[in-house]
Amino acid sequence: MLFDFATVGVFLVLAYLFVLAALVTSRLIAPHRPYPAKLVTYECGEPPIGPSWVRFNNRFYIIALVFLLFDVEVVFILPCAVIFRPAAGSLAGWFIFAELLVFVLILLAGLAYVWAKGDLSWVKTVQPVLSEPAAAKQVELESPVITALEPAPAAVLAEASGKE
């Protein structure tokens, strides 16, 4: 049994050495001649427009995570469903059914939470907070996407609250 673990260990060491040798060989052989066109951000063959550091809406990330959650749910439910069919009339069948039911209920609770939070809608309205009036102002620093908060003018607050 110890010999089996040694085989796996030797295999992992050889794999590590192979990757290390490939990286070192590439570093030694590959030409390194940078010029301005090589250092420009690549955008599918098109010339880049604007800076490459742009803030993306995190809603894309949340939707992707929710999709992944329910996609993985199917992967976990399918083997249980295959096992459930032969054990349908026995005590084990009821146990498998209860496990699946708890699993689906937990996922439905997560879906209800995300839905109630409003993260499933693409267009999310943001209500202005009038207790702490602030308007984001662009600040000229190293990165053009860094913003600073400063008090909003009275005209902006009146417009936000609907009063003139």
Domain count of the fold of the chain: 2
The answer as to whether 88 is a domain residue is: yes
Is residue 96 domain-shared with residue 144, that is, in the same domain?
Answer: no
Identify the domain containing residue 141 by its residue range: 132-164
Q: Which two tokens stand for residue 95?
A: 């146990």
**Contact predicate 107/70, CB 8 Å:** yes
Is residue 155 domain-shared with residue 109, that is, in the same domain?
Answer: no
The answer as to whether 30 is a domain residue is: no
pTM over 0.85: no
List pLDDT tens digits, range 147-162. 444 455 555 555 555 5
Is residue 65 domain-shared with residue 112, that is, in the same domain?
Answer: yes
List pLDDT tens digits, range 86-143. 888 788 888 888 888 998 898 889 888 888 888 777 776 666 655 544 444 444 444 4
The answer as to whether 106 is a domain residue is: yes
Q: Which residues pair with 135 in a beta bridge?
A: 150
Q: Say how far apart CA 29 and CA 51 lie, in whole Å.
A: 33
The answer as to whether 29 is a domain residue is: no
